[in-house]
Amino acid sequence: MSILAYDLGASSGRALLGRLTDNKIETQEIHRFSNDPVQVGSRLQWDILRLYHEIKQGLLKAKHQGVQVQSMAIDSWAVDFGLVAGNGELLGNPYHYRDLHTEGIMENMMKELSPSYIFERTGIQFLPFNTIYQLKALKEAGSPLLQQAERFLMIPDLLRYFLTGEMLNEFSNVTTTQLYNPLRGQWDQDLLRAVGISEGLFGQIVHPGACAGQLLNSVSSELGVPSIPVIAVAEHDTGSAVAAVPALQKSFAYLSCGTWSLMGTEVDEPVINELALKLNFTNEGGVGHTFRLLKNIMGLWILQELRREWERAGVTYSFPELVKLAEEAPAFGSCIDPDDPLFLHAGDMLPRIQQYCRQTGQKAPEQPGEVVRCILESLALKYRYVLKLTEQVSSQQFNGLHMVGGGIQNLLLCQWTANAIGKPVWAGPAEGSAIGNLIVQWMAQDVFSSIWEARKVIADSFPVTVYEPEQQEIWNEAYGRFLHVTGLTEYR
State how far the Cα of 273 lies from the Cα of 164, in Å rounded to an integer.
Answer: 40
For 291, phi then psi, to 5°, come to: -130, 150
Yes or no: say if 306 and 367 are a contact pair by the CB < 8 Å rule: no
Measured CA to CA, the distance from residue 295 to residue 125 in angstroms comes to: 8
Which bin fits 333, alpha (ψ -120 to 50), beta or left (φ > 0)? alpha
Answer yes or no: 237 catalytic: yes
Residue 342 β-bridge partners: none
- The CA distance from 354 to 55, in Å, is 40
CB-CB contact of 440 with 243 (8 Å): yes
**Among 237, 337, 339, 460, the one annotated catalytic:** 237
Contact status, residue 222 vs residue 264, Cβ threshold 8 Å: no
- Hey, which residues does 229 pair with through a beta bridge? 214
Of 116, 447, 94, nearest to 277 by C-alpha is: 116
The dihedrals phi and psi of 137, each to the nearest 5 degrees, come to -65, -40
Catalytic residue set: 237
